Every structure is written in C-alpha cells, then in structure tokens.
A and B are shown apart, each in its own frame.
Chain A
Amino acid sequence: MTTMYTPDHEWINIEDHEAATVGITHHAQDALGDVVFVDLPEVGRTFKKGDIAGVVESVKAAADLFMPVTGEIVEVNEALRADPSLANTDPLGNGWFFKVHIAEAGMAEFDQLMDGPAYDKLLKTA
C-alpha cells in the first residue's frame, strides 16, 4: 500500500519516497465543514510523529494537523493556502497540505498506520 491513514483522519502517500504527500480525509473535511484557513509548516522544519505541524480552520473551529511520521517538510501546498476550500472539494488530491522527506525512523511508523480497509473499519465503528 502506498497510502496509509492515521486515527486523526489524515492520509499519507509515499509513492514518492523523497516527498510523501500528507492531507486530511473526506471524513475530516466533512466533520470540519467549510475550511477557510490553513496554517502550514515551514519548509525545512523537522517534526516527530505526533507533533503539531499545522492547523486547519473552518468557520466554526480550528483543528491541529499532526505529523503522521517523523520527517522533514520539503514542500507545502501554496494553492491550498490561497484557496483553503480545496481541502473540502478535493481533500485526497489538490487539497493536500504538505510533503515530507520521511526520516529513517519514519518508515517503521508509516508501516504501523492504517491501510484503507482498516481506516474504513475505523470510520464504521466510530
């Protein structure tokens, strides 16, 4: 599997090992409602798994973006910063948040995340 999911309703895709893409799931964008602002991390910063790497805000509330695996931010989605509603309209595509160069420790962390069927099961039981 190249895409895995976190209990915080984020996804991470490692098709590109040097720059794994991170975003929020359909469930997350639906629970948040209209996204009006994103606070994206600085490129070059390193975070551990579980660190708060950014914030996504709807009209109603602000939610933390957690780092799904340990690594360094190599790119952020400037298009999302300019039009935060992309997180609602295309959360798994153009609404991505940032890209991570996964640290060595991060690969094992990635493997421990949920695959698609496991995440679907989480949504059904939640």
Chain B
Amino acid sequence: MSDAPLQHTPLNELHLELGAKMVPFAGYAMPVSYPAGILAEHRHCRDSAALFDVSHMGQVRLVGDDAALALESLVPVDVVDLAPGRQRYGFFTNAAGGILDDLMITRRENDLLVIVNAGCKDADMRHLQTNIGHRCSVVPMPERALLALQGPKAAAAIARLAPDLAKLTFMTGAFARIAGTDCFATRSGYTGEDGYEISVPAEQAVALARALLALPEVKPAGLGARDTLRLEAGLCLYGHDIDDTKTPVEAGLTWAIQKVRRAGGARHGGYPGAAVIDKQLGAGVTCKRVGLVGLERMPVREGAIIVDAQGHKLGRVTSGTLAPTVDKPIAMAYLAANHALPNHEVYAEVRGKRQPMRVSPMPFAPHRYFRG
C-alpha cells in the first residue's frame, strides 16, 4: 500500500454523521459498516433496501462514432450491438487472456458509460487512453458520485421519488431526475438483489443520499455487507476471485462473451488474448472457479488450501465467509478441473484442520433481478 493520503468520496461527512466505521479501501476512506453492523446491513438488503456509497469506483465516458468498435478491441464483449439504454458486463483482458479489470458498459444516446473498479481505475484510464484514445474521446468523470440502492423494496421506494425508474428492467439504464438531482440510473448492482446504481454529480450526492435514506425502506450499508452480499450472489471480486493471471474461461465468465466475438462469429477476436481465450473456449481449461459450501460451521477464508481426501492440493480459496443468508460457510476457489464437479467433496485446510466442503452451483443465494 502507498503512503498517499486517503481520498474521500463526496459522502464522507455523511458517513461520519451516520456513525460509520471507516477503513482504507483502494486509496479511499470508505465505510465498512454503520452502527447496525455487517450482519444487520446484509439482512436489511435482502429484506428491504440498502444504500451503498460506491463513489470510489471509476466512471468514464467514451464518446464518438467509433467508440463501441474501439472498445471491442479491448474487451471480448459485443458492444456494437448493444442497444441504447442497455447495459452489459465485461472485462479488459491482457495478451495472455488474463483479466485486467471487470466492468459495466452502458450504451447511452450520445456515449458509452463504463464503470470500473476503484483499485484499477487509474490503470484502466491509461489503458483506454493509450489504446483507443485516438479513436474516441476517453472522458473520466471524477465529478460524479455513484450510489447503489439494492434490495427487494428498492424499486418501490425509489419510484416515489422518480416513478419512471420502476419501468427499467435488469441491465438497462436511463437519465432521471431523483429528488431534484440529475442522475443516470441503471437497474443493476452487486448484491444479487433487484436495485439501482445511480451516477450523480458529486455536489448533489449528499442531497440524493439523504433523500434515499429518508425513505422508510432504506438504511445505509457498508463495504462489509457489500462483500458478503456479492459473495452469496456468486459475483467475483476483482483482485481476489479474478485477476490478470485468470482468464474469463477459468473464471467461469464465458456467458459474458457473446457468440459474435467468439471463433466463427462476425467480429471474433480482435482483443488482447483472443487466441488464448478462443482456444480455451474450444478445448476447456485445467483449472476452474467453483463455489464451495462448508458441511461444518467453521468459516473458510481467502488463501485456504483445498485438498482431496488424500491431502493432495487441488486449489486455493479466493473469497470466503460464513454467509449470513445461507447460514453456512461459503467460498469461491479455483480447483483442478477434474475436481470441479457438482457435489464433489473436498477439504479446506483451516488452522491445521480439514473442513469438508462440497462443490456447489452459484449463486449461493438466488438472484432476484427484475426482468420485467
């Protein structure tokens, strides 16, 4: 970690006012939890609606007629055919097919809005500028904050402030005026629940957050709950479950690579690592990301080694916790492909003890997206 002073999001004062426990994360002081605590915040998101400050994430616009095709030279995703108002998940890859960052792309009338991870955003901006800056304008948006409102009551709650937002379906977005602020909202998130991510001018972020928190369904939630929620939803955390040494095929993210970008497709390849990824799509991989559910209570965390009944190493855990909703230890791990089989029993080594776990389909908690 660098010694550079921590940056603050536009909601910093509000977090302190709400009694948040602040921690350093990706160069920012961020709320890990509020006085309710991670468990209560997690449950509130699953039962009602939780408000997260995710303003540390990078927002960037790509502007110009060639922007979609240019972006396709960096991601194995169909951006060209993305209709206005629609959103897609994707990732930047390197020459070996490894994942440089994962991201969300939304096509708007006049640009593409790309949201990237906080820890990668400086490198991502350079990556975009260097590789496609001559084909489109790469416009970082540090002047905007990002709020996420997530949970089964998020839509009903926000509809009282902006009725049109109820019409959005999962992975679509629209400009909206919410409580007097000019926003761009997408119906998406990182919890497995229905909900919205809302891009708002920094100077209006506190007013928006206060308006949302004033809704009876809504309570604040921190990064701690965000992490347990996304893990139950089977969603990868960059730098842990995916990184530049793992390809999208190994990570089980091939659903995000549309046919048109694969071998035989109309715009196949043309992004870094395409040869590696196409080969893996055809021939398979030797190690794969899987979900694991513990058969006992002991939490299994990142770094735990997974072994077979004879003690042979099969892989390593990349994320894990005792899941609040599932009420069992859950984890993601990379396992040798011949062990990455449903219901296969393996063992996690925790403090010298072997904890039995079963390979499990993900998500661990069902997704409850609103698809219309």
Contacts and interface: CB of A to CB of B under 8 A. Distances in A.
A34 B38 CA distance: 7
25 contacts: A33-B21, A33-B33, A33-B224, A34-B38, A36-B299, A37-B298, A37-B299, A39-B298, A39-B351, A57-B298, A57-B299, A57-B322, A58-B38, A59-B38, A59-B42, A59-B224, A59-B228, A59-B321, A59-B322, A59-B324, A60-B32, A60-B38, A60-B321, A62-B299, A62-B301
A34 B32 CA distance: 13
Interface in B101-142: none
Contacts of B39: 34, 36, 59
Interface of A: 33-34, 36-37, 39, 55, 57-60, 62
Contacts of A39: 298, 351
B15 to A, nearest CB: 16
A58 B38 CA distance: 9
B297 A37 contact: yes
| B interface, over-half SS | mixed
B299 A60 contact: no
Interface string B22-43: 0000000000110001111010
Contacts of A58: 38
Contacts of B38: 33-34, 58-60
A96 B235 CA distance: 37
Interface in B287-327: 297-299, 301, 321-322, 324
Given A57-B322, A59-B42, 12 more contacts: A33-B37, A34-B39, A34-B40, A37-B298, A39-B298, A55-B351, A59-B38, A59-B228, A59-B321, A59-B322, A60-B32, A60-B224
Interface residues of B, number: 18
B33 to A, nearest CB: 6
A39 B297 CA distance: 10
Nearest to A57: B299
A101 to B, nearest CB: 24
Nearest to A81: B297
Interface string B255-298: 00000000000000000000000000000000000000000011
Contacts of A34: 37-40
Contacts of A33: 21, 33, 37-38, 224
A59 B222 CA distance: 13
B36 to A, nearest CB: 10
Nearest to A61: B301
Interface in B231-254: none
Nearest to B297: A37
- Interface pairs A-B: 9 shortest CB-CB: A34-B39, A36-B322, A59-B38, A34-B37, A57-B299, A37-B299, A60-B224, A33-B38, A34-B38
Contacts of A37: 297-299, 322
A48 B42 CA distance: 39
Contacts of A55: 351
A90 to B, nearest CB: 16
Contacts of A59: 38-39, 42, 224, 228, 321-322, 324
A39 B299 CA distance: 10
A101 B351 CA distance: 25
Nearest to A36: B322
Contacts of B298: 37, 39, 57
A57 B300 CA distance: 10
A55 B353 CA distance: 13
Nearest to B39: A34
Chain B CB count within 10 A is highest, among A33, A36, A57, A59, for A59
B240 to A, nearest CB: 14
Interface in B42-77: 42
Interface string B314-347: 0000000110100000000000000000000000
A111 B299 CA distance: 36
B289 to A, nearest CB: 22
A59 B224 CA distance: 8
Nearest to B296: A37
A33 B23 CA distance: 13
A36 B228 CA distance: 13
A57 B301 CA distance: 11
A34 B37 CA distance: 7
A37 B42 CA distance: 17
Chain B CB count within 10 A is highest, among A36, A37, A39, A62, for A36
A41 B301 CA distance: 20
